[in-house]
Amino acid sequence: MGDGPGVSGDGPWTRLDGFLRADPGDPGCTRCRLDLDVYAELTIAVGAPATLLPGVATHLESCADCQDDLTGLIAAIGHTTD
């Protein structure tokens, strides 16, 4: 969480993600999914994760696959939290 432009990590996935991204504000599926569990928890906890993880929110607007993953995560977390 809380990473900026100077994100560490120079592995092949990071580079591939950067290569594939179309929107400069969209971190892409790979990066999005790293934060998706946090995003799901924030959705349940505070209901407004877009202000905390704007990149993920931007990506979710254009990616049905990640939206499905988020829905599944929220359901899973919701069922396991008491």
29: contact with Zn ion by CB under 5 A: yes
Cβ proximity to Zn ion: between 19 and 79 the closer is 19
63: contact with Zn ion by CB under 5 A: yes
56: contact with Zn ion by CB under 5 A: no
Is-contact 18 55, C-beta < 8 A? no
Stretch that binds Zn ion, among 9-17, 21-29, 41-49, 70-78 (CB under 5 A): 21-29
Is-contact 53 39, C-beta < 8 A? yes
Give the integer Cα–Cα distance in Å for 81 and 32: 23
| Residues that bind Zn ion in the complex, under the rule CB under 5 A | 29, 63, 66
